[in-house]
Structure 1
């Protein structure tokens, strides 16, 4: 890797990558830095043919990004992240003299991470001044124009590392919020072990109808509250199976909110393809086992 350069030191231009590997790798297929001054600049993602994930970051100036529901002014530090083709478009608005951008095009294998980021921040958001992501993007561009991404694996490693950092940032800095729905999630986090817990109770606790709770919860987190609760209980059971080997399967089922161990085993096997007992045995050769989840939200301690 080369030393990080400021955008003032980098030339405007673009670099494309033709990936010949048959492996389903997450890759950078194109990257560029443009100085846009023409008001004819307009891209309609609904009619574009190639399939990829586009990230466009504003270095300076002003642009506009539109979805069917919202228009997002793009100014210094803003970015949008979208699937192409898709129902969005972006342009240089009439009230802007210029728009300096850095754009990155990722292969469609990156779509799962795109969806994950959208759940937390939506399709457009601002990077805080403390974020290292702008410098990472500039470094990727510098590496691309200096041929530092010379192999498929160099390319994929760089692309994936950046996208993971972006996903990590999105999870730590969620832009989407709904106080009552957040309270509902917190209520589930704090009461998952209660076998009588149900959505009526949660809805009453946060002052929403069950219908609105389910709709808004799914909109904010991309999952129904019932499914979230089931996943939370399974996550907790995995930790207990590995870190509390003195407990029986029936005891663990009760500790995480399942009414009986038979139903717990059925749900566990459907989710993981193995029984709780087999899961515990498969991981008994380690002195210590860490259970990792794809979220920064911490599961509450055992009750």
Structure 2
């Protein structure tokens, strides 16, 4: 794996640090940042007595919690509750950039984030009823950056800054912003178009065709797609084509990979293989073999 493909990670593990932040904010179990340039394995795991929050700084990732799949994209916050088994869809997290934090369950401490008793109880109740994926304000990204700075500076105000930022992230999750600032008719047209693409990913979708169907400019199509789906139209379509490729590889074990690539609209089998590995962590042939091995 070359440097371009290597994931970039920053991690704060309080158990490995004997500093002011580690002792003053015991609610934090782990705090991290990851930039994945290609799919990376992320299999089933859980966090005992802890919540996990994952902020999508860029890209898209799909998660499986108790058998249910949840898609998240740029500007959204995904979370799991204590003791929930979860993983990335297809056991690989897609190329993306994320901030994440694992914190203890407020119900396990009487002095959680130094909140008053009634505030802590209200927070605990709210956290257990949150939607799985929430669109939040860009301030959440700033909060994560500020927490990293506070950890690295480790000055006398670091713990206060971190408690403030963590509280702000939780409040953002409890009172998310309205992400649907687009005109209602455009939202409906976009939803209909996205459904059409999902049902027919092999069609020759181009930015020009999307603009014609929506009756807006090509640049506007790009902006709206980014706002609603957290990725460009091309990336959205590629992801759907890879999903369909996975289904074909599993259901038609003798169909040549090259034929699958051309049927799904890829110009070359090499491009198909490159995109497939970037999204799943395996080449098409490797993925097909894994499915055969699972079936015995």
Give the TM-score normalised by structure 1: 0.42
Instruction: Give 1 or 2 for the bigger CA radius of gyration.
Output: 1
Bigger fraction of residues in helix: 2
